[in-house]
Amino acid sequence: MTPTRFPLPVLGSEPSAALAEPSAPALVDLPDEASFAPGRVVGSEHGYDRTYWRSVEEQLHGDAALPDRDREFPLGAFDVPKGFARRDFLQLMGASVALAGLTACTEKPVERILAYTKTPNGVTPGNPLHYATAISRDGLAIGVLVTSWEGRPVKVEGNPTHPLNRGSTGPQDQAELATLYNPYRARVLKERGAGRSWRSFRESVRQRAAAWAADGGARLRFLCEPSSSPLLGSMRAAIQQRFPQARFHGWSATPRDTVYEGTRLAFGQTLEPQYAVEKADVILSLDADFLEARTTTLDQNQAFAGRRVPEARGGMNRLYVVEPRFSITGAMADHRLKHRSADMEGFVLALAAELGKTVAGLGGYGTPVGTPSAERSKFIAALAKDLSAKRGACLVMAGERQSAATHAMVHAINAALGNVGNTVTYTPPAVLDTATGRAGWQPLIDDLRAGKVDTLVVTAWNPVFTAPADIELGAVLKKVPNVIYLGPHDDETGAVVNWFLPAAHPFETWGDARSRDGTVSIVQPLIQPLFGGISEVELLGSFLDGEERKPYDRLRELHRSKATGDFDTEWESWLAAGVVPGGTLAAVVPFVQSDALKTALARLRTPEPGLELDLVADYKLIDGRYALNSWLQELPDPITKLTWDNVAQIGVGLAKQLEVESGDLLKLTVGNRSAIVPAWVQPGQLDEAVTVSIGYGRKQETLGVIWADEPTMVGHDVYPLRSAANPWFATGLKIEKTGKDYTLSYTQVHNTQDGRAVALMQDLEEYRQHPEAPEYRPKTNPLPSVQPLIEYKDQQYKWAMAVDMSRCTGCNACVVACQAENNIPVVGKTQVRKGREMFWIRLDRYYTGDPATPEMVSQPMFCQHCETAPCEYVCPVNATVHSDEGLNDMVYNRCIGTRYCSNNCPYKVRHFNYLHWAQDKSQVERMLMNPDVTIRARGVMEKCTYCVQRIERTRITARLENRTIGEAELKTACQQVCPTSALTFGSLHDPKSQVSLRHADGRRFDVLHELNTKPRTVYLTKIKNPNPELA
């Protein structure tokens, strides 16, 4: 009686269309976006001079624009789906009423319990295990702990013992599991479209190896994904030894080349700068978006946030940002200067000249070109004075998009200011290839064009898609006799290669990785390859002599020499801790080669004036590799709050000049290449520059994906605008209006806020003298209520949260973490337009000030767990009640979907399952679900639960050991991932806990205090530290 179905991943041969909106009814013709934008311009709040507003439409058009000012739900939210006549509707309703009574009478089908044949070691069914591994991005790694339920990974957490990220992770790291369990991943090894076996591939390589042996591999090339893996490094060395004439090249769509070229130019050696941001009192960022929670800069997030509060030891730091677009780092800046990327070299030379008046060693680096604006001169004067006053405790950083010359000057400035050894140190690079941009692959392209290569092995991600248009990589590859591509999808590159190998996900393979500071971690797999994927190690192994060896064996052999005692014991300890000791790179003390630098700077050309195109790595998809990750596609962009799309961000002034509105399709042309992208009027965007994210615009057919009811592409491909000479920016941009419209889905204008003090922001001095927050606090401003006051004294725990908006960068890591932990569904672009996005955390972004140069505050908003919750007393079936410990419980099985609770919630943090998002999930997608959290069906309301499943598990563990829950052992999902420790959770009964301290903080206020909801989640005012000379 062998069972016919297993809950284990026995996979069907075709992926379901579950990636699309499941069973969404036919689309309604939605009205244009104007009807979605709220009309109210928010006036001054109590005692504040700031005016907060939500979008440019509000600010610019005011009351006149829009008829739906007070409309809570956008038009179309309640429309009956098209194609559904009234008579059918009534018939169906009648039938369902009749049937509804009968469904309760049918028996629940018998559930099976499938026990192990042999229980694996260490596994207790029902209790998760955590395995340490590492995730790499741009070749640099962080340590993570992956929660695994009986061999099924379900959640990614940061590894607290890893020195780089110390327990935090970014949005992409949180979404890695959605990539792992993506049913559209490639499964079949192909040669020219026909399925082949791994053995036949190895055989083909072996046959060609004879020819390579003859000429030392002169016709063999490798195009590699950036990596710092010691194992891959050793295999490359072995291949190089076998075929001395073979070459390895690096390829990345987001190269960090200029970082290394900058140090080469400045110091004469290739180095990796390591920033100790916590030691800096003043920070200048030249387009360095270090506060984006990218894997490579997570340590800088925590370091920055630690000095971002008024009570920080050493005082609050000050951040200056110079950039063409409005970035996350720009939003955290105390002072921000809009500046073209092309003019950045001029800026840094002007800064050096200004600094040179008071600081030795910065003279003679060349005169800045062009006529600087008065605004820029004033900025530089104040900036230079501030930096000069903080020698040794300041930091200048340049972003990866900037030129090597800018980087080199930044190093010279840091050296002159005495920062080397304090706020910045230098180590050898941890990566295997320091050239993954043009310097890395141009020699290869030349060889390919010259016909010098017969076999090219590509492990870089999708180079044909990400290649600058002018090198025409697709055509070049088609001429190469044998191209082998290892990729997660049979994509644009797979279409032109001979051999396509489906790549295994890093969570399915053995390997190792290094982080930026050199720390080595072993990458251990969490699950067997779901789709028979192949790892890079195995692929490179096929180019070596001898028998096929498992990556695990190669890995152990490589690291055996590192053990000081018994290797097996130490190996286990490395796997358990996630860190192999002894990998940290030693600091180097370099000296500025001023003469060489000056010679190089003399060769700089004056940039052309005019409109500049700025290409940026997307905050969610990065270079496009996450295009099939629905979590990241639906994640609202931190600044524009757009979902499922990319746009051309244009400045307010330019928009007015060109008479362009958000949603107008524009044709952007650089040289002889163009792309069509919808416009987005972005406050804070430089008028002389247009910013577009790369990575979008993949064609459905290429990916074999069907997004039901969506257009054939998600977003717009701007890689055609990329040139080999400069991947990041180009002058001479021309904009044409196509006269067509494009509908965008964004979350920023849903849920209008009236003129209330929702997100407070103050300058440091103002806060010290007149803190605003006490006005919005129960103790200082208690309000009367008809509801009886409950003291919550008798219970053991009094759960509460605190959000420090001074620390919050708006990176969105918490949103994805919450989605991963709580099985939150993805709804698709159309439903997001109707306001039905299901994220439990909503990152509100408020602008203040002039639209051209705004300031921004980010406020994560989720269920406040109000002690006198307005949602609780309106539920007709008592589905939402208050627990004895302060949680607002949401009981899904009682909920009948009246939505009265959401109606009454003033924070609008409740989300209703309008459609059955959880059905039609393929077997693979079901594996992504956290078994500790109910999967909600259609018709129930859901919201943040303070991670009640974690509270209950930790409570039981603590009660079994007869003790109370410690502060460090219970963290909500959002708190655990936050790179800046902005979120805190804990019990208010513990007066020494972080959350109690924050509840007592001078900056603490309750959002919408005047409604007397007594929320348990409190917020701390965002404090800015402006320079009095620039204010």
Q: Which residues in this chain contact another protein in the complex, by CB under 8 A?
A: 1-3, 6, 108, 110-119, 124-127, 796, 881, 883-885, 887, 889, 891-893, 932-934, 945, 948-949, 951-952, 956, 959-960, 962
Q: Per the structure block, which two tokens stand in for 68? A: 């739906």
Which residue do the tokens 């924070």 mark? 907
The residue among 108 and 779 lying less far from another protein, judged by its C-beta, is 108
The residue among 584 and 883 lying less far from another protein, judged by its C-beta, is 883
Q: Per the structure block, which two tokens stand in for 626? A: 């996450």
Residue 161, Cβ density class (10 Å: 0-12 exposed, 13-18 middle, ≥19 buried): middle
Contacts of 411 (CB under 8 A, 6+ apart): 262, 263, 266, 267, 273, 592
The residue among 640 and 945 lying less far from another protein, judged by its C-beta, is 945
Question: Smallest distance, Å, CB 879 to another protein?
Answer: 9
Contacts of 481 (CB under 8 A, 6+ apart): 454, 455, 498
Q: State CA 165 to chain mean position distance.
A: 15
Give the three-state DSSP class for 857. Answer: strand
Q: Per the structure block, which two tokens stand in for 300? A: 């800088």
Question: Smallest distance, Å, CB 797 to another protein?
Answer: 11
Cα(329)–Cα(973) distance, integer angstroms: 24
Question: Smallest distance, Å, CB 10 to another protein?
Answer: 12
Question: Smallest distance, Å, CB 145 to another protein?
Answer: 20
Strands, E, within 622-704: which ranges? 642-643, 648-650, 664-670, 673-681, 689-693, 698-699
Q: State CA 83 to chain mean position distance.
A: 38
Question: Smallest distance, Å, CB 934 to another protein?
Answer: 5
Cα(517)–Cα(187) distance, integer angstroms: 36
The residue among 567 and 892 lying less far from another protein, judged by its C-beta, is 892
The residue among 64 and 960 lying less far from another protein, judged by its C-beta, is 960
State the CB neighbour count (10 A cutoff) for residue 46. 11
State the Cα angle at 602 between 601 and 604, rounded to 5°.
Answer: 70
Cα(355)–Cα(372) distance, integer angstroms: 16
Question: Smallest distance, Å, CB 855 to another protein?
Answer: 39
Which residue do the tokens 């890893």 mark? 162
Q: Per the structure block, which two tokens stand in for 150? A: 């009986």
The residue among 731 and 880 lying less far from another protein, judged by its C-beta, is 880
Question: Smallest distance, Å, CB 920 to another protein?
Answer: 18
Question: Smallest distance, Å, CB 827 to another protein?
Answer: 22
Contacts of 146 (CB under 8 A, 6+ apart): 130, 131, 132, 133, 153, 155, 156, 157, 507, 526
Contacts of 613 (CB under 8 A, 6+ apart): 668, 670, 689, 690, 692, 721, 729, 730, 731, 733
Cα(965)–Cα(796) distance, integer angstroms: 10
The residue among 112 and 605 lying less far from another protein, judged by its C-beta, is 112
Question: Smallest distance, Å, CB 485 to another protein?
Answer: 36
Identify the sign of the CA torsion 768, 772, 775, 777.
Answer: negative
Cα(418)–Cα(663) distance, integer angstroms: 48
Question: Smallest distance, Å, CB 956 to another protein?
Answer: 5
The residue among 785 and 796 lying less far from another protein, judged by its C-beta, is 796
The residue among 234 and 949 lying less far from another protein, judged by its C-beta, is 949
The residue among 2 and 197 lying less far from another protein, judged by its C-beta, is 2
The residue among 118 and 992 lying less far from another protein, judged by its C-beta, is 118
The pairs formed by 896-899 with CB atoms below 8 angstroms and a separation of 24 or more are 896/939, 897/939, 897/940, 897/941, 899/941
Question: Smallest distance, Å, CB 900 to another protein?
Answer: 18
Question: Smallest distance, Å, CB 825 to another protein?
Answer: 17
Question: Smallest distance, Å, CB 341 to another protein?
Answer: 49
Bridge partners (DSSP) listed for residue 890 = 880
Pairing mode, strands 335-338 and 318-323: parallel
Say if residues 432 and 240 touch (Cβ distance below 8 Å): no
Q: What values do phi and psi take at 438, rounded to 5?
A: -55, -40
Q: Per the structure block, which two tokens stand in for 385? A: 């004075």
Cα(949)–Cα(154) distance, integer angstroms: 14
The residue among 389 and 956 lying less far from another protein, judged by its C-beta, is 956
The residue among 142 and 918 lying less far from another protein, judged by its C-beta, is 918
Cα(643)–Cα(357) distance, integer angstroms: 48
Which of 705, 547, 711 has the alpha carbon at shortest distance from 629?
705
Question: Smallest distance, Å, CB 892 to another protein?
Answer: 6
Q: What values do phi and psi take at 742, rounded to 5?
A: -140, 135
Q: What values do phi and psi take at 516, rounded to 5?
A: -60, -30
The residue among 3 and 47 lying less far from another protein, judged by its C-beta, is 3
The secondary element (H helix, E strand) that includes residue 842 is strand 842-850
The residue among 589 and 960 lying less far from another protein, judged by its C-beta, is 960
Question: Smallest distance, Å, CB 527 to another protein?
Answer: 18
Question: Smallest distance, Å, CB 507 to another protein?
Answer: 24
The residue among 114 and 789 lying less far from another protein, judged by its C-beta, is 114
Q: State CA 252 to chain mean position distance.
A: 18
Give the three-state DSSP class for 616. Answer: strand
The residue among 86 and 108 lying less far from another protein, judged by its C-beta, is 108
Bridge partners (DSSP) listed for residue 250 = 224
Question: Smallest distance, Å, CB 322 to another protein?
Answer: 48
Q: Per the structure block, which two tokens stand in for 552? A: 């695990």
The residue among 46 and 959 lying less far from another protein, judged by its C-beta, is 959
Question: Smallest distance, Å, CB 124 to another protein?
Answer: 5
